Amino acid sequence: METNSGNKRCARKVQLLVTSALLLLQNFLIIPQIFAKEISSVHIVYMGDKLYHNTETTKKYHQNMLTSLLGSKEAAKNSLLYSYKHGFSGFAARMSKSQAQDIAKFPEVVSVIPNGIHKLHTTRSWDFIGVHHPSSKTVFTESNLGEGTIVGVIDTGIWPESASFNDEAMGKIPSKWKGVCQVGEKFNSTNCNKKIIGARWFLKGINDHTKNLILGNNDTSEYLSARDAIGHGTHTASTAAGYFVENANYKGLASGLARGGAPLAHLAIYKACWDVPIGHCTDADILKAFDMAIHDGVDVITVSLGITIPLFSYVDQRDTIAIGSFHATSKGITVVCSAGNSGPISQTVTNTAPWLITVAATTIDRAFPTAITLGNNLTLWGQSIDNGKHNLRFAGLTYSERIARDPSDDLAKDCQSGSLNETMAAGKIVLCFSVSDQQDIVSAAVTVKEAGGVGLIYAQHQEDGLNECGILPCIKVDYEAGTQLLTYIRRARFPTARISFPKTVIGKWISPRVASFSSRGPSTMSPTVLKPDIAAPGVDILAAFPPKGTKKSSGFTFLSGTSMSCPHVAGIAALIKSKHPNWSPAAIRSALVTTASQSGTDGSLISEEGSTNKEADPFDIGGGHVDPNKAMNAGLIYNITTEDYIQFLCSMGHDTASIRKVTKTTTSCNKQKNQALINLNLPSISIPNLKKDTTVMRTVTNVGNINVVYKAIVKSPYGVKVSVEPQILRFNSDTKVLTFNVSFISTQKLHGDYRFGSLTWTDGKHFVRTPIAVRTIQFES
């Protein structure tokens, strides 16, 4: 009896053990499947230039590759996001890491990389740089204005109802246009017109990154269409090619005639950036935007976004802007990019590929001074764009540390959240000092408002660009004014102050100045390519903006960043293209760089805003501040072919096989590869490692008077002897292209930093200036 009972208990134990083992085995089998699913993500398979002219053939080729990889047509269909088949060949698809490694071994594949994230680089400006367009009433009598050109905008979409995008006086849609007006949420075919001639949107990449955050979230403010939820794309599009809008303003400030740089150019919108928490734009979506822009027939592409340092190689798929723009440039499309907002630190410039036009940001001569009247009748000045309801009577004035909730910490100094004593702050204007990068004027205003304060004066180091606080009047002052205010607070028994409304003042400030946030050179990826190329207005730029659900919106707002300077140059590029339709992207860049200005409104050299106020150098502004009128009549240009760019890539260490995969050409790398680094025919010269001497070759093409003589004027960098041979260039009907050599000899005995100079060719009318940057090397490890 006991034996039988023991056997049964033993049998039950065995059964339980077997069951447990099966469950464990099942879990072990399921876990890898779940894990594989979790790590399956979007990868971009880049195959270089397009394989077939027939786009359907190219797409089928991509599908067959995926079928071979994944084992079935259905799996391939479900995996494929985009097929890149117009400007270049490749596709974006979901796959695991091991599958990505497998497909990278396919002979036709150049590279396979995970889908990465890019960030946005987030009127009066046109008058300031000399584009004096007529009003809308006289536009019919004026020529050019970008007429007939198409500007592609890769950004956050567009708000089509904005007055900047009406198509009054617009010409016919160019016959070469092959784009579409893609419908979607609150965006239909009627939202396109002769101004906005096309709109597309790409979200498969970002949607995979956010795990369907956009498609599956009803709380998002985004639109599943080309409609702009952020405002960035609307702002940049109107800056580049917005039509005339009279009495444009932001809450009464900066009132005047608004327009883009090329008001008669057409706009093609490519929404690749989205309002999501983790970022804005993915590689997959950006590449598809480039692919379709090339297909559609745009003339200029403006791209106000980028990656941060460290930079990737120009043939590395992770720099999708470099890859996409290479193919666009090879098709004759001028691509303009923002330099980045990581200034004033050196070596932070992004979008540094030599075929790109990279734009830095500067101030204009408009300001919004705001008076602070103290109880002792002293008036100090700051700047503000808060033009809402102000209590103009005197109120108590206090310093944030005096009303700290916890005097033992420093959180109150810059008014960090919850740091102020509500009882002591109530009804007062609060002075805060910026002491860290973790706080800004808007966040400080929230702290003051929550504590019961009625106004904010925010003292900080020089930082360009104004932000509206909205919830209460806030004024930005420098540390000097802030210290004067603090001195008054400490001395007065009952300190008081009154904040006035801001005013719009034009022409009273020395400008331009290089914006404090504008990223600086030299390029960390290719220091022989001088970047940025050019500078343009990018501080407190008034342009079109979505109304954001308020009836009181003027439809315009101020934004600052190289995102704003970039479309300025894109608009000018469209003007040049309209006047010179046969000019290459390199010719347009050359005209912009060699005619740029180095002087401010007071006649002195342009200075830069940063840790120190010094004269701006080529790593701040490239050739200088853009001068559209002179760029139209450049005199001489430096041209570059796709073959030249390929040899440049060879000189960077890429072998013939890898470059052929990217370009799908039969081009071979020359034996003297290193010469292509400094001899790429750029309108600038950068020599990062001058040991003893070197010679640089350049070639210019005459685009001015047929019979003309140019003479060289050299301004040598300190410690370097520069000579030009020949010193005179004679052009005639038979001689339109001439080559010259520039020799550099170091006279330095010490290891040095970069020094700057210039070479200018002049016929007495034109001054074709090439910026020069040279660093002498006397020490090697």
Residues 6+ apart with CB under 8 A from 33: none
Query: Could you tell me which of 507, 542, 540, 497 has the C-alpha nearest to residue 260?
Result: 542
Query: Could you tell me which of 537, 600, 524, 594 has the C-alpha nearest to residue 567?
Result: 537
Q: What is the mean pLDDT of residues 370-382?
A: 95
CA 125-262-602 angle, 5° bins: 25
Q: What is the mean pLDDT of residues 568-583?
A: 96
**Chain segment 381-391, per-residue pLDDT in tens:** 999 999 876 76
- Cα 224 from Cα 230, distance rounded (Å): 13
SS3 track for 175-240:
CCCCCCECCECCECHHHCCCCEEEEEECCHHHHHHCCCCCCCCCCCCCCCCCECCCCHHHHHHHHH
**Chain segment 608-659, per-residue pLDDT in tens:** 876 677 899 999 999 999 999 999 999 999 999 999 998 998 888 877 777 7
* Model confidence at 183: pLDDT above 90: yes
Determine which of 313-317, 434-438, 600-604 has the lowest per-residue pLDDT on average. 313-317
Determine which of 67-81, 308-322, 516-530 has the lowest per-residue pLDDT on average. 308-322
Using CA atoms of 97, 103, 109, 112 in order, give the dihedral in degrees to the nearest 10.
-10
**Chain segment 759-769, per-residue pLDDT in tens:** 999 999 999 99
Greater confidence (758 vs 317) lies with 758
* Model confidence at 665: pLDDT above 70: no
What token pair was written down for 128?
Answer: 């300031």
Omega prior to 726 cis, within 30 of 0: yes
Q: Residue 312 has what pLDDT? A: 79
Q: How confident is the model at residue 11 (pLDDT cuts 50, 70, 90)?
A: very low
Q: What are phi and psi of 727, to 5 degrees?
A: -90, -10
Q: Could you give the percent of the chain with pLDDT greater than 90?
A: 65
**Chain segment 539-550, per-residue pLDDT in tens:** 999 999 999 766
**Chain segment 111-156, per-residue pLDDT in tens:** 888 888 888 876 445 565 666 555 544 333 333 799 999 999 999 9
Q: Residue 217 has what pLDDT? A: 59
Q: Pairing between strand 80-84 and 273-276? A: unpaired
Residues paired with residue 139 on neighbouring β-strands, in sequence order: none
Neighbour-count burial of 292, counting CB atoms closer than 10 A to its CB (0-12 exposed, 13-18 middle, 19+ buried): buried
- Cα 470 from Cα 404, distance rounded (Å): 24
* Model confidence at 10: pLDDT above 60: no
Query: Residue-wise over 526-546: b if at least 16 C-beta within 10 A, else e?
Result: bbbbbbbbbbbbbbbbbbbbb
CB 762 within 8 A of CB 709: no
* Model confidence at 24: pLDDT above 50: no
Omega prior to 277 cis, within 30 of 0: no
CA dihedral for 310, 316, 322, 324, sign (positive or negative)? negative
* Model confidence at 582: pLDDT above 50: yes
What token pair was written down for 663?
Answer: 């370009």
Q: Residue 661 has what pLDDT? A: 65
Q: What is the mean pLDDT of residues 738-743?
A: 98
- Cα 615 from Cα 607, distance rounded (Å): 4
CB 314 within 8 A of CB 353: yes
Q: What is the mean pLDDT of residues 701-719?
A: 97
Query: Could you tell me which of 472, 519, 563, 471 has the C-alpha nearest to residue 231?
Result: 563
Determine which of 78-82, 309-313, 434-438, 656-660 has the lowest per-residue pLDDT on average. 656-660
Which one of 36-45, 367-376, 663-672 scores highest in mean pLDDT? 367-376
Q: Residue 276 has what pLDDT? A: 82
SS3 track for 6-19:
HHHHHHHHHHHHHH
- Cα 79 from Cα 74, distance rounded (Å): 9
CB 233 within 8 A of CB 157: yes
* Model confidence at 286: pLDDT above 50: yes
Q: What is the mean pLDDT of residues 652-676?
A: 71
* Model confidence at 594: pLDDT above 80: yes
Q: Residue 8 has what pLDDT? A: 42
Q: Residue 780 has what pLDDT? A: 63
Q: How confident is the model at residue 729 (pLDDT cuts 50, 70, 90)?
A: very high
CA dihedral for 403, 407, 411, 417, sign (positive or negative)? negative
Counted residue by residue, the chain has a size of 781
Q: Residue 214 has what pLDDT? A: 63
Q: What are phi and psi of 115, to 5 degrees?
A: -70, 115
**Residues annotated as part of the active site:** 155, 232, 563
- Cα 781 from Cα 777, distance rounded (Å): 11
- Cα 264 from Cα 241, distance rounded (Å): 7
Omega prior to 344 cis, within 30 of 0: yes
Greater confidence (527 vs 218) lies with 527
Q: What is the mean pLDDT of residues 276-300?
A: 90
Query: Residue-wise over 200-222: b if at least 16 C-beta within 10 A, else e?
Result: bbbbbbbbbbbeebbeeeeebeb
**Chain segment 200-209, per-residue pLDDT in tens:** 999 999 988 7
- Cα 684 from Cα 631, distance rounded (Å): 16
Query: Could you tell me which of 331, 285, 282 has the C-alpha nearest to residue 642?
Result: 331
Q: Residue 87 has what pLDDT? A: 77
Q: How far is CA 384 from the centre of its chain?
A: 25
**Chain segment 212-271, per-residue pLDDT in tens:** 666 555 556 889 999 999 999 999 999 999 999 998 988 888 888 889 999 999 999 999
Q: How confident is the model at residue 677 (pLDDT cuts 50, 70, 90)?
A: confident
